[in-house]
Amino acid sequence: MLDSINADFTSSFWGLYVAGLVTISLLVCVLILVLNMTSRETGAPQVQAHTWDETLQEYNNPLPKWWLYLFWGTLVFAVVYLAVFPGYGTANDDRGARAEYAKETEKFQQVFDKYAKVDVAALAQQPEAVATGKRLFLTYCIQCHGSNAKGSPGFPDLTDNDWLYGGEADTVKTSILEGRAGVMNAFGAVLSGDEIKDVANYVRSLSGLSADAARVQRGEAVFAANCTVCHGPDGKGAASMGAAFAALGAPNLTDNVWLYGNSEAKIIEGVTRGRNFDNRSLKNAMPAWGEFLGEGKVTLLAAYVHSLSQKK
């Protein structure tokens, strides 16, 4: 653990840099103090040259002794403190804030590790585990899925019991652990503009939305020839074709639940350009969390997500 944190510092440069700065600061303080250790001169007190507001003047007395000694004291304290609680550029010491942080994280990691192999569905019944999962969700997941987990265009709603990859507790866990990236190829170069409009109308009709009857009829054939491989023969999505296909992530097109919107224009856009098709940037991909969070936290997250669509 310590090694992995200190690995951020690949050379001793920063350690030396900090040590140098600390040394210089301390020496400057000493210098200022020494220069101010003048003793009080006898006779009438000297007055500074400047005068404000016509009469306001300032004595030129040395610093009070008690103040000076206090300052020397803080310098001594600083040196002792730096030695005892390593702050003197010692990144690799096993004491100090860095090590303390490592110990804390390790302690927490052990708390979470307990959950790594616990059954997700069973865990979803335990309010405390679900509450912990929710806190993790609020930390790691809301930027894409929203604080209420209801998603936004391109980012699925996790509360509606409608799943791209299947909603079994273990499948949800796999989605989080390994990440997901459903890709739909672009048909802009394969189909004519009319064919795309036809199939878009057919897709809308599958969810009972208004559509042009003649286009729906023609679109059904286009769909059968181009789309069923991923979306299934009846358009009910990859997960409806069994576990072997679920990983394709092609959504159910018959349930009026939409990732990108149900307007004819949105559907035409998706079919023409594809979704996540420019492989350089998987814009709407679900990152894999297993390595970053560890399986324990992922299991708690899965329990929370699973619980969202269970209570009805």
Between residues 88 and 277, which has the closer beta carbon with respect to ligand HEC? 277
CB 22 within 8 A of CB 87: yes
Q: Minimum CB separation from ligand HEC for residue 221, in Å?
A: 11
With the CA atoms of 8, 11, 13 and 15 taken in that order, what torsion angle do they form, in degrees rounded to the nearest 10? 60
Check residue 270 for interaction with ligand HEC (CB under 6 A): yes
Query: Exactly one of 86, 251, 295, 300 binds ligand HEC (CB under 6 A); which one?
Result: 251
Query: Among 29-37, 45-53, 80-88, 183-191, which window interacts with ligand HEC (CB under 6 A)?
Result: 183-191
Q: d(Cα 154, Cα 234) in Å, to the nearest integer?
A: 23
Check residue 227 for interaction with ligand HEC (CB under 6 A): yes
Between residues 284 and 307, which has the closer beta carbon with respect to ligand HEC? 284
Q: d(Cα 289, Cα 295) in Å, to the nearest integer?
A: 8
Check residue 55 for interaction with ligand HEC (CB under 6 A): no
Question: Which residues touch 115 (CB under 8 Å, ≥6 apart)?
Answer: 123, 129, 296, 297, 299, 300
Check residue 229 for interaction with ligand HEC (CB under 6 A): yes
Between residues 112 and 163, which has the closer beta carbon with respect to ligand HEC? 163
Distances (CA, A) of 148 to 112, 133, 141, 152, 241: 23, 13, 10, 11, 30
Residue among 242, 251, 252 nearest 275 (CA): 251
Distances (CA, A) of 93 to 87, 100, 117, 297: 9, 11, 35, 29
Query: Exactly one of 184, 241, 268, 303 binds ligand HEC (CB under 6 A); which one?
Result: 184
Q: Minimum CB separation from ligand HEC for residue 70, in Å?
A: 52
HSE, side-chain direction, 13 A CA sphere, residue 204: 21
Site for ligand HEC in 123-162 (CB under 6 A): 137, 140-141, 143-145, 154-156, 158
Between residues 102 and 120, which has the closer beta carbon with respect to ligand HEC? 120
Between residues 99 and 141, which has the closer beta carbon with respect to ligand HEC? 141
User: Which tokens sit at 162?
Assistant: 């409608």
Q: Minimum CB separation from ligand HEC for residue 111, in Å?
A: 18
CB 239 within 8 A of CB 163: yes
Check residue 286 for interaction with ligand HEC (CB under 6 A): yes
Check residue 296 for interaction with ligand HEC (CB under 6 A): no
Q: d(Cα 235, Cα 203) in Å, to the nearest integer?
A: 8
Residues interacting with ligand HEC, by CB under 6 A? 137, 140-141, 143-145, 154-156, 158, 163-165, 172, 175-176, 180-185, 187, 199, 203, 223, 226-227, 229-231, 248-251, 253, 258-260, 267, 270-271, 275-276, 284-287, 289, 301, 305
